[in-house]
Amino acid sequence: MNGQDMFQHPFHLRGKSVLVTGASSGIGRAVALECARAGARVVITGRDQARLAQTLALLGTAPGAEPGQASGHVCCAADLTDPAQMADLVAACGALDGVVHAAGVHGVAPLRMLRQSFMQMVLDANFLAPLMLTQLLLAKKSLRNGASLVFMSSIAAHTGTVGVGPYSASKAALEGMIGPLALEIAPRAMRANAIAPGLVDTPLVNEDRAWLDEKAKMYPLGLGTPEDVAYTAIYLLADISRKVTGTRLHLDGGIPWT
Ligand SMILES: NC(=O)c1ccc[n+]([C@@H]2O[C@H](COP(=O)([O-])OP(=O)(O)OC[C@H]3O[C@@H](n4cnc5c(N)ncnc54)[C@H](OP(=O)(O)O)[C@@H]3O)[C@@H](O)[C@H]2O)c1
């Protein structure tokens, strides 16, 4: 070990390849940029080609990125509710040390107005897509031993807000898979964890700025930023958390919701 290595902080992703879904916007974009800053090669995916290309361009200029650090990133657009597009994405990934499943839709409808097709769409995007992507990555042996899987849940999985039922149900279902999956992949030193943020200022929720500003007053530590979530994801992806699995990490700014 040389002097430089001896003093390197362990909170890094150097040498790792990380797939980030939902990287065309909000939390996924921040996760991709911060993972690259932490030294990872990232594979970014989302549906919107133009916004995905913007993320790729930002990867090269991420603040703090060291020269040469941003090379080798891969960009592959895919609708994760389409099995064929998911298969193309997995083929493009190469070997991975981590996955952050940030893709998701909001999905708000009170029960009296809920259509089954809408509920199915929310479940497809928020629950089945990350699950089936994980299954395919395992089947194709795309995940290296020790890989860390991070799923984006929400405190909505545990709270009751009028109209948010479809979204809450999809996140609760996702969290239900974490424990069993963690046990299933532990023999290969792989890990599965969820992050459950409260409100985070992204296009998913910030269309009505006045509403969001009002909600922000309920958060003792203020609303989350996409970077807050990204730093938590980096902790779960890095080797420093190698004994942490099967958990849900709340990132809720202290809002009393239990
Ligand atoms: N913002 C919050 O307050 C908050 C709080 C708790 C949890 N979360 C969770 O955090 C995650 C990211 O949310 P965000 O706030 O960053 O939302 P966002 O800005 O709206 O981004 C959502 C991302 O998901 C992608 N996506 C949606 N459906 C997809 C599909 N079928 N196939 C592939 N990609 C798809 C979108 O791709 P395109 O735009 O390219 O279509 C976009 O990149 C979600 O799982 C969300 O539930 C958010």
- CB of residue 132 inside a 6 A radius of ligand 1: no
Which domains, ranges and CATH numbers included, belong to the chain?
Answer: 13-251 (3.40.50.720)
Nearest CA to ligand 1 atom 19: 26
Average pLDDT over residues 109-131: 97
Average pLDDT over residues 192-206: 97
For residue 197, the ligand 1 atom closest to its alpha carbon is 6
Question: Which is nearest to 103 in space by CA: 1, 22, 45?
Answer: 22
Residue closest by Cα to atom 11 of ligand 1: 102
pTM for the model: 0.95
For 64-78, what is each residue's pLDDT tens digit?
A: 555 445 468 999 999
CB atoms near residue 60 (< 10 Å):
12
* pLDDT attached to residue 68: 43
Containing 73, the helix (H) or strand (E) segment is none
Strand partners, 143: 96
Rg of the chain (C-alpha set): 18
Å from CA of 181 to ligand 1 middle:
22
Distance CA 256, CA 112 (A): 28
Cβ(110)–Cβ(159) below 8 Å: no
pLDDT at position 61 is 67
Check residue 140 and give its pLDDT.
98
Question: What tens digit of pLDDT does each residue of 220-237 get?
Answer: 999 999 999 999 999 999
Measured between alpha carbons, how far is 99 from 142 in angstroms, rounded to an integer?
11
> How far apart are the CA of 17 and the centre of ligand 1, in A?
21
CB of 227 closer than 6 A to ligand 1?
Answer: no
Concatenating the DSSP letter of every residue in 154-219 gives -GGGT---TT-HHHHHHHHHHHHHHHHHHHHHGGGT-EEEEEEES-B-STTT-SSHHHHHHHHTT-
Concatenated DSSP letters of 141-153 = T-EEEEEEEEEE-
Side-chain-facing half-sphere of 102: CA atoms under 13 Å:
33
